[in-house]
Amino acid sequence: MIVVPAVDLRGGYCVQLVGGDYDDERVRLDDPRGIAREWSRIGFSRLHVVDLDAATSRGQNTDVIRELLREATVPVQVGGGVRHESQIERLIDDGATWVVIGTRAVEDEDWRVDMAAKFPGRLIIAADVRDRRVVTRGWSETSTLDVIDFAESLRGLPLGGLLVTAVHKEGLMEGTDLPLMEDVADASAWPVFASGGVSSSDDIRALEHRGVAGAVIGMALYTGAIDARRTAEEFGE
């Protein structure tokens, strides 16, 4: 089990939202590059960077991400609004170890198959979930696609992993959706990374016991609900 700190970008700031709601921003910090450096210095061996503005078609944080990747001393996975091959290429060229693709990967099967073949092992597919249905376009649209069916459909692709975010738990600090994550881990041929609601070391251990490979954590680290140093020592690699 590895814990991966989240660096969510909005307007050049590092933020944390509750339930993906842009009107409910609980954390806003300047210098996201410095924050990324600090997570690495503490002992985390991987970072998760998301361009929230690009994900919701409100803008982009390309320059911040490029500088963050240039300075990174650990592998970084980057996502948010990645819907074209050229974006994947640019992020890899800029230094991303993995690129996280969501909306288009969910909606366009031919595209995700093609991209997985062109970038084997470099893509992580993001399945954002509410009531076991996959949501897209910055959590604004709910599909009819069941997340377990979706996970099973990815079995033949050369992926770097599957990131599942329990949108209904995101930022609430009430624990994650363990039954959901266990079912996805059972269905997936690839390492599953869980996100949304992780608020304690017990949550992390519970995910590990259910076969989840990693947890992407934001709010709990930024608010101090989880001790960052101890977490890096126990789950940093």
Lowest mean pLDDT among 2-11, 21-30, 52-61: 21-30
Other C-beta atoms closer than 10 Å to the C-beta of 63 total 9
Q: What is the CATH number of domain 2-235?
A: 3.20.20.70
β-pairing verdict for 161-166 and 192-195: parallel
Nearest residue to 218 (alpha-carbon basis) of 3, 71, 66, 69: 3
- The pLDDT assigned to 185 comes to 97
Does the pLDDT of residue 138 top 60, yes or no?
no
- The pLDDT assigned to 223 comes to 92
**Residue 92 backbone zone (phi > 0: left; psi -120 to 50: alpha; other: beta):** alpha
- The pLDDT assigned to 30 comes to 92
- The pLDDT assigned to 114 comes to 98
Does the pLDDT of residue 137 top 90, yes or no?
no
Sequence-distant (6+) residues with CB within 8 A of 219 are 16, 18, 26, 27, 171, 173, 199, 225
Nearest residue to 6 (alpha-carbon basis) of 94, 83, 81, 77: 77
Sequence-distant (6+) residues with CB within 8 A of 49 are 6, 7, 8, 9, 36, 65, 68, 76, 77, 78, 79, 80
- The pLDDT assigned to 91 comes to 98
* Confidence tier at 171 by pLDDT (50, 70, 90): low
Mean pLDDT over each residue of the chain, to the nearest integer: 92
Give the long-range contacts of residues 66-72, CB within 8 A, separation 24 or more. Answer: 66/94, 67/33, 68/7, 68/32, 68/33, 68/36, 69/94, 69/95, 69/96, 70/94, 70/95, 71/33, 71/36, 71/37, 72/36, 72/40, 72/47
Q: What's 20's DSSP letter?
A: T
- The pLDDT assigned to 54 comes to 93
- The pLDDT assigned to 139 comes to 55
Query: Which of 130 and 233 is assigned the larger pLDDT?
Result: 233
Q: What are the residue numbers of the active site?
A: 8, 128
The mean pLDDT of 96-121, rounded to a whole number, is 96
* Confidence tier at 24 by pLDDT (50, 70, 90): confident
CA dist 130 and 147 (Å) reads 9
* Confidence tier at 133 by pLDDT (50, 70, 90): confident
pLDDT in tens, 52-79: 999 888 999 999 999 999 999 999 999 9
- The pLDDT assigned to 173 comes to 64
Other C-beta atoms closer than 10 Å to the C-beta of 140 total 12
Sequence-distant (6+) residues with CB within 8 A of 69 are 76, 78, 91, 94, 95, 96
CA dist 23 and 109 (Å) reads 32
- Tell the residue number behind the tokens 């990815």, with chain if given: 154
Other C-beta atoms closer than 10 Å to the C-beta of 174 total 10
CA dist 18 and 53 (Å) reads 15
